[in-house]
Amino acid sequence: MKRANFLSSLWKHAYAWVLILFSVFPIYVVIVSSFDPTGGLASSSLLPQRFSWENYEILFSSPTIPFMTWILNSSYIAVLNAILSIVIGAFSAFAFSRLRFKGRKAGLQALLLVQVFPAFLALAAIYVMMERVYTIFPGIGLGSHGGLLLIYLGGSMGVNAWLLKGFIDSIPMELDEAAKIDGATPFQIFWQIFVPLSAPVLAVTALLSFIGTFNEFVLASLFLQDVQLRTVAVGLQSFVGAQFGANWGPFAAGSILASVPLVALFLFAQRYIIGGLVSGSVKG
């Protein structure tokens, strides 16, 4: 009996270790490459052959590499997007969940339909549209942080509205009715009842939005061409974007440094993320 149990659990442990190694190996290669002064990927040997801080020094000493500016650009765009997308998403979710108005069902279905189409299909249209906007409002047009933020907000509005609406639907209607009897307005119901009850899921949605925006590359590389305006993902890509001049050492070192705040934030908020994700799973 013990032998059968041992054999039955052995393949599960082996499978788990294979998945762990598969996930950890790319991170290990990046860490080793960040200390390799030759600028190549350390894929020829599992053990590090050389050790140097040269790649990290390049990021902070070269006048042509504004690494800290890239980090600050990514940080404040991600923070603004997280805050604004949560505000817009919370108002939209409350309106779709609790208010009754003409076009409510059609609006919900339209939001879902827009999210179904791949975002890459709209890249050309968005580029042309923002190019036209730049001729009138340069601050929110092509090549500006304001324009990129508008694109991010438009892309996240539908997802956040549907995600938050599912949570608000689980809050009993009796709370609304009791507040209305006491004379509360819809805004007071939203601000004094739903926002405190939805705080965990709002925090989780904001955190995931921040991480997704900080790591986003495709849209940022399309809109931000100025070196000083680039985000960290676009800036680091310039190290490996050349056809015959890829320098993986600074790219790996920058990737490690850029991941530190995200990993620290994720570990700090891990308990809240799990609580927020499951808080809407039980109705009542």
- The structural domains of the chain, with segments of one domain joined by +, span 66-238
- Superfamily of domain 66-238 in CATH is MetI-like (1.10.3720.10)
Among 102-106, 220-224, 229-233, 277-281, the least confident range: 277-281
Question: Does 189 score more than 80 pLDDT?
Answer: yes
Question: Does 238 score more than 90 pLDDT?
Answer: no
Percent of the chain past pLDDT 70, that is, above it, reads: 89
Measuring CA to CA, how many Å separate 123 from each of 117, 164, 210, 219, 221? Answer: 12, 27, 22, 8, 12
Mean predicted confidence (pLDDT) in 252-264: 88
Q: What pLDDT is recorded for position 279?
A: 58
- Evaluate whether 265 touches 192 at the Cβ level (below 8 Å): no
Q: DSSP readout, the chain?
A: -HHHHHHHHHHHHHHHHHHHHHHHHHHHHHHHHHT-TT-S-S-S-SS-S---SHHHHHHHH-TT--HHHHHHHHHHHHHHHHHHHHHHHHHHHHHHHH---TTHHHHHHHHHHHHHS-GGGGHHHHHHHHHHHHHH-GGGSTTSHHHHHHHHHHHHHHHHHHHHHHHHHTS-HHHHHHHHHTT--HHHHIIIIIHHHTHHHHHHHHHHHHHHHHH--HHHHHH--SGGG--HHHHHHHHH-SSS---HHHHHHHHHHHHHHHHHHHHHTHHHHHHHHHHTSS--
Question: Does 80 score more than 90 pLDDT?
Answer: yes
- Give the model confidence (pLDDT) of 190-200 as tens digits: 888 888 888 88
How far is the C-alpha of 235 from the C-alpha of 5, rounded, in Å?
52
The pTM of the full predicted model, rounded to 2 decimals, is 0.82
Burial of 107 (0-12, 13-18, 19+ CB in 10 A): middle
- Record the tokens describing residue 118, joined without a space: 């791949």
Q: What pLDDT is recorded for position 239?
A: 83
Q: What pLDDT is recorded for position 17?
A: 92
Question: Does 283 score more than 50 pLDDT?
Answer: no
- Give the model confidence (pLDDT) of 114-134 as tens digits: 877 777 778 888 888 888 888
